[in-house]
Each structure stands twice: as C-alpha cells, then as structure tokens.
Structure 1
C-alpha cells in the first residue's frame, strides 16, 4: 500500500501549478486558507454581531470593550502553552493545534445557545456566559500567534501569505454572512408595561444570532479538517522545507542576528503599536464612533472594515512588499482616518455631521481605510519577522499579543471608569412635568 493511499486526503493529486509567478500546490493553498480561517473566526464572527448584541445585552455600548478584554485575557493561552511545552515535553505542537481548534469549535457551538443568558454580579447584570465563551474562542487566535506561525516554517514561504489570507477570511466570511443577515433596522420606542416609561423594540433580522453563531461553529469544524489535511496529507510532503518534529527537540537553525539589533527592535515596536490599535483600541471605540449615526451605519462599518482585512492580505500575495519608506508614508497617511475615528468616539453621542449622509459616509470610509492600511502594515511586519526563523516568528507573535493586551486593557478602563465616552438612552424617558 502506497503512502498516498494511507493519506487522509486521497483526492489530492501530486501536481503543482504556477500561480502568481510561483510554482505551488493550489490544494495546499486552499488547505492553508481553510486552516487560517479558524484562527480568529470566533472573535471576528462575534465581533460582527456586535451591532445586534449591543442592543440586546445589558452592557450596551460598553460591550465591545468588555468583549475585547475577554479576548485579551485569552493571552493566558500562550503562557499555558509555554508551561506545558516545558513540563510535558512528549506532546508535540501539532497536538496543541488540534486541541485549540476543537476548543474553538465547541466554544462557538455553546455560545450560540448560551449568549442570551445573564448573571447578576451584585446589583449589576452581566453577560457572563457570552464573555466566558468568547474567552475560549479567543484562546485560538491568541495562541495561534506563538504556535501556528512557527508551524508554518515547515512549509515553503509562498504559503505564509495564503495562510494569512485565511486569517483574513475569518473576518470576511462572517462579514458577508452578517450583511445577508441584516440588522433589522432602528428600534421603535413603545410604552412599558407600567405605562410610565418607554422601552425599545428592535425589528428582527433575517435570522437571529443563534443561527449565525451555529454557522460559525461549522466553519470552525471546517478549519480543523483543513489543518488535518495540512498536517497529514502525503501529497503535501514535498512542499515542506524541514521535517516536522514530534517532540520538544527541534532541528538546529543557523545562527541569526540578535533580536536586540535596532531593526528588530523597531519591527517589534511597530508590531506592538499596530496590534494595540487593531485588536484593542479600535474595536473598543467602534460602538461610540458609529452608533450615533445609526445601527445600520455601525453594521456597515463593522462588516466593510472587516472585509478590508483579507483584501489587504491578498495584496501581499499579488504584490511585492513595499519599501520601508513607502510603509512609513502609508502609516502617516493613516493618521488622518484614525484621528477622525477617535474624534467621533470622544464627541459621541453628538459627533460631527451626525444625522447627515455625508457624516455616515465619512465614518464608514474612515473605518475601512484605517483597517485596510493597518492590516497591510501588520502583514508586512509578519513577512519581515519570518526572516528570523522560528525565533523571529515567536517574537512577532509575542509583540502581537503584548500590543493587543495593552490596547484592550487601556480602553476597557477608559470606557468603564472614565467620563470620556457616553451612551445616550435609546428611548429618552418622558418628562414628569
């Protein structure tokens, strides 16, 4: 019996195709994208549901900041992985990847049915099940930075970009699904049962959040199947550049320059800054920046900005990396939409041009432009970090998580314990006079 007959992917042929100017196995590209889809699927998928969830869960506009903090608490995943790697040496990195992907799929499936439940902590009602399961969904993405990226070094460099496209698809596919779902329109204020106050009634979306999150869990299961193909398919073995190891001992790498060299320090500082913005600051601000313009605008800003992420990664597949000066010019230009985003959030609930089509267009455009530019810059950083081998990729992953944690913690404290950001009543109560 041949090796290929023992492979779990008998339908994959051993032929290569020249695409984008490089000989590559397209089936492996698809498997890499499918695997990458599962990394941030849970977080991105729940994130694009926020326009619906902020209206229905007790945290209101502060829910994105609480959700972002829950995701960043999942940075305990890399610490747990490091401890297990040190004290349980017989377990391979491949084993941990399988475990994480299973956890991600199960967390989404449970969240589909448990997210409406709330718990009173003292006098405050909190969405504890939703936030706890979001934490477990976030474990996959947070740990992928220090576990999945190093695994990619076993394959030719051409597959790094397609894996990153898969990561981008973890936002694109839920965004398309959310556009189909819709958000049901603006709420109608009706008298409460006591007749003395008004309560909002939200029109239903095409399908509810339970159906949406069940679909996400199915996509997470697909990601697990794709990684199984990447790891086990005999037809892909020829694309490896070094054999995967099954224990703690790794093949020695050639000597590399110190990560304390100025160019490495600059790269890691850039990665901290980019991820603090993308994974901490911006998600926490979006409800305050967009909700004053209406639920539909918030929905469009979330979904279109998320779509901009994989499009920026696709640019890395088709285009050569830009020089350092061009990247610096791109980031300098990005300060304009970023500044507008921060201004609209700080001036909420009465930001510039509220109630006008021009204001709606500007805020959505600012979110799409800023997300696309920062996504491209982050992918550029990962490509540079790959030059440092496994150590460089782990350092970039550590910088990713450090920046994300710092940005989310800072915004959680500002949103919840300062007067900088304000949420108005959906239905202003009638005057007693």
Structure 2
C-alpha cells in the first residue's frame, strides 16, 4: 500500500526540484544577460569599453534594495513578507527587460556628451531586482528541505548559463580583421599625386538576431521565474516540506545568540543527505563570512570591470569565449556542489586561494593591456579563456557551499549571507570604478590595429 504514496512523493519532490531550479534562474538572469551582451552593446553605445565599469557601479548603487530589506529584517522582523517582495522584484525585472528591448539604444546629452541614459536607468532597475534577490530568494528557500537549496543554486548558476547560450547563438560581438586600402594625396613640391595606404581594421559581423530579441528572451525568462515561484508557494509538497528553521542563529550585531544546530530530517532523501548536525564557533563564522565577502568582491566587483581589457588584446573571439564560457562554469560548479558537496572550510579556503590566483592572472593581463603575455600565441588565447573559466568555477563552488553551510544554521544567517555578499560586491566596485573611469589605469585594445612586438 505504501508504494503509490512513495511514487507520488517522489514525483512531487522532482517537481519541486524543477520549480526551485527555475525559480533560481531569475535571481541574476537579467544582469548576467547584460554582461554576455556587452560585446555587442559596446559597439553601439557611446560609452564603448567604459560600459562594463559603469554597469558595475550601477549594480552597487542598487544595493540600497538589499540594505533596506536587511535593516527591516533586523529591526522590524515580520514587517515585510518575503513572498510579496519576491513577487514585486521579479515582476519589475520582467517589465524592465521588456522596456530595455525597445529603449536600450536611446541616448541623451549629459554635460555635453551623449550617454545611454535609458540603458543606465533600466540597468539600475534590473540591478535593484537582482541585488534584492540575494536577501529574499535564498531566505525563502530556507523554508524548504535542504536538498532544494542546492537545486536553487543550480538554477542560480543557470541564470548565467542560459543568457550565455543565447549570446552564443546570437554571435554577439564576433569580429574579423579586414585590410582596408585608403587613398591619400601626396604633395611633392608643386605636384600632387594620389597614393594608397593599407591599414588593418576591425569589422564586426552582423548578429544572428537583434538585441531586441535578446532582451525579449530575458523578459520571458523572468516571467517563467515568476510562474515557477507562484506554483512553488502553492504545491502541497512545499507545505509538507516546511520545517522548523532555527530562528535567530548567528547575528553580526554581536547579540548573545549562539550558533544553533539543526537535526537531520529522516525523510530527506534526495541528491544528498540533510544538513549534518554541526555547530560552528564564532571564529569559523567570521571565516565563512569573510570568504563570502572576498569571493563576491572578486566575482561581482573587481574582475568584471576589467574583463574586456584582459581579453580583447587576444582578439574578439577570446573575449566572446571568456564571457560566455565563464558564465557556463557557474552552473557546472553548482552541479558539482550538488553531487560532491564538501563543508570542509580548509577545502573552501584552498579553492578561494586558487580562484584568487586565476583572478590575479586575469588582472595582470588587464594591467598589461594592450600588450599582454603570449599575445601572438594560440597558448595565450587559450590560457586567458581557461583562466576566466576556472576563476568563475572555483569561486562559484565556494559561494554555493558557504550558502549551504549557513542554511544549516538559521534563516537569519542566510539573510546576512546576502547582505555580506552585496557588501563585498560593493567594495570591489568602489575600488575599481575610479581606476577604470577616473584615472584611466587600464588601456583598451583593438586587436586588429595593435602595434605590439611579436
């Protein structure tokens, strides 16, 4: 008699995994879409290769959203419903993507120079949505059994993978070098003769489909995320999966609460077992949150600002592949974390150091632009792409596992996870913006017209 119930439970559990994954895709899909579309946008918008640093600082300005949610959670718990906030931010994200499809190229003069005012304004709306998701989506998932949290992280990784796939199909920013012959007038004494001058120039190939279609597809992803969340909150399996979460866990405010421990749920059968009964000392909590801040400062603030500078000297194809394949490394790392989870803080520390090393190489190539190492070698092209992939993949694994660890402690720990995540991102962006936009520390490169020694 128990077999039909077991089959029904399994099918509902799989459906909940699917909904949790689709829900996770809406967390950062919009902003990830902006990043992978950059190779095309920079050829059309007046900011050109300064555009990544502008986007980075806009994202950090949007941290007012998670800051407000975190403060309300701390001082006015229960005032705002997480469910209502999620409905609101996802709906705003879908609307902003829809408007971006039609208004992204609109410019207006600012201080006498044309700027992408519509693009920046809508990008801020998308950043507000995605940044706020850090302190709302994951705390909501903490209401479910632990196995669904890892599935959510897979969906969060897909929020970069799916836009990257669309960008690959679009062929955004693919270029070739063309030999251009220019006719010049040469004056010798009283005689003027025509001469020819040969020059290599970059010619961008037309995309397979327009930016309008790309942003419409992003809007569709946000709508699908909204629908998945609607059903996720109403499935019977969700109601049956709700469990007691330690209420106040570790607080960064210095309160007297000690880390709580969660008992394993005997019914939790899935990709991996329920969270083990582990208590962490204050020093270990400080180390975990330090990892969260450092990893996110690198992946969300520091390195994205210089990806163009580190890759473009190797050619547009190298930049295109590094942007798309590194986005694909994120969900791959989340999938690995699902089947091979490790809560070893030593391992997470080692992976953080390794990811920092890859990030340091990427930064060094950006500093050396327009003439980085191995520029004229196929090895140089391959290494810069591989470095970006491993940088993203290793640090993505760290982000997933720190989230899983904090999930086992309390709902409040996950809210602080989101807050520290955004704080790290903000710090990285504030460091990089003046270096890129004010002091022009990095030099852009046109691969076809470079004059570097072989």
Task: Report the TM-score when normalising by structure 2.
Answer: 0.82
How far apart, CA to CA, are the structure 1 residues paired with 2:25 and 2:242? 21
Q: Which residue of 2 aligns with 1:109?
A: 98
2:32 to 16, 40, 44: 44
CA distance in 2, matches of 1:426, 1:118: 28
Tell me, in whole angstroms, the C-alpha distance in 2 between the residues paired with 1:328 and 1:95.
36
Deviation at 1:388, TM superposition (A): 2.7
In 2, are the aligned partners of 1:190 and 1:198 still within 8 Å (CA)?
yes
> Which residue, 141, 151, 175 being the options, matches 1:185?
175
Q: Which residue of 2 aligns with 1:21?
A: none
Out of 53, 61, 68, the residue aligned to residue 41 of structure 2 is 53
SS at match of 1:378: helix
Deviation at 1:210, TM superposition (A): 1.3
Any conservation in 2 of the 1:337–1:370 contact (CA below 8 Å)?
yes
Q: Flag structure 1 segments of 5+ consecutive residues without an equivalent.
A: 1-12, 19-23, 244-249
Q: 2:25, 2:155 within 8 Å by CA — same for their partners in 1?
A: yes
Q: Counterpart of 1:10?
A: none
3-state SS of 1:125 partner: strand
Offset from partner CA, 1:196-245 (integer Å, 9 cap, x none): x99965320111211111111001100000000111223432122149xx
C-alpha contact 1:190 1:201 (8 A) present in aligned 2: no
Listed one character per residue, the Cα deviations across residues 275-294 of structure 1 (whole Å, up to 9, x for unaligned) are 00000011111010111111
**Per-residue CA distance 1:154-184 (angstroms, 9 max, x = gap):** 1111100000111001001111111111134
1:285 pairs with 2:275: no
Distance (whole Å) between structure 2 residues aligned to residue 322 and residue 251 of structure 1:
22
Give 1:333 shift.
2.8
What is the alpha-carbon distance in structure 1 between the residues aligned to residue 151 and residue 417 of structure 2? 18
| 3-state SS of 1:120 partner | strand
Deviation of residue 314 (structure 1)?
Answer: 0.8
Equivalent position SS for 1:49: helix
- Equivalent of 1:144 in 133, 146, 158: 133
1:69: how far off? 1.1
Shift of 1:339: 2.1
Is the contact between residue 43 and residue 137 of structure 1 (CA under 8 Å) also seen in structure 2? yes
Corresponding residue for 2:19? 31
- What is the deviation of 1:188? 5.0
Q: CA 1:118–1:386 in 2, change beyond 3 Å: closer, same or farther?
A: same
Q: Distance in 2 between matches of 1:266 and 1:252?
A: 19
CA displacement at 1:295 relative to structure 2: 1.3
Q: Secondary structure at the match of 1:56?
A: coil
Shift of 1:426: 7.7
After TM superposition, list the pairs within 5 Å mapping 1:346-361 onto structure 2: 346-361=367-382
Q: 1:87-108: CA deviations, max 9, x gaps?
A: 8966522111100000010111
Alignment-derived partner of residue 127 in structure 1: 116
Per the alignment, residue 227 of structure 2 pairs with 225
Residue 308 of structure 1 contacts residue 372 of structure 1 at CA under 8 Å; is this kept in 2? yes
Q: Does 1:160 align with 2:149?
A: yes
2:236 corresponds to which residue? 234
Deviation of residue 137 (structure 1)?
0.9
Q: Report how far residue 260 of structure 1 moved.
A: 8.9
8 Å Cα contact 2:70-2:135 kept in structure 1 = no
What residue is the counterpart of 2:365 in the other structure?
A: 344
- Rounded to whole Å, the distance in 2 between the matches of 1:324 and 1:252 is 23
Check conservation: 2:315, 2:447, Cα contact below 8 A.
no
Bigger shift: 197-206 or 344-353? Answer: 197-206
For the pair 1:408 / 2:429, whether they are aligned, the reply is: yes
Structure 2 distance, partners of 1:403, 1:83, is 17
- Structure 2 unpaired stretches of 5+: 1-5, 186-198, 251-256, 261-279
Task: Report the 3-state secondary structure (helix = DSSP H, G, I; strand = E; otherwise coil) of the residue aligned with 1:232.
Answer: coil
Structure with greater Cα Rg = 2
> What's the counterpart of residue 208 of structure 2?
206
Q: Mean Cα displacement is larger for which, 220-229 or 114-123?
A: 114-123
Q: Distance in 2 between matches of 1:83 and 1:336?
A: 35
Q: Which moved more, 1:253-262 or 1:313-322?
A: 253-262
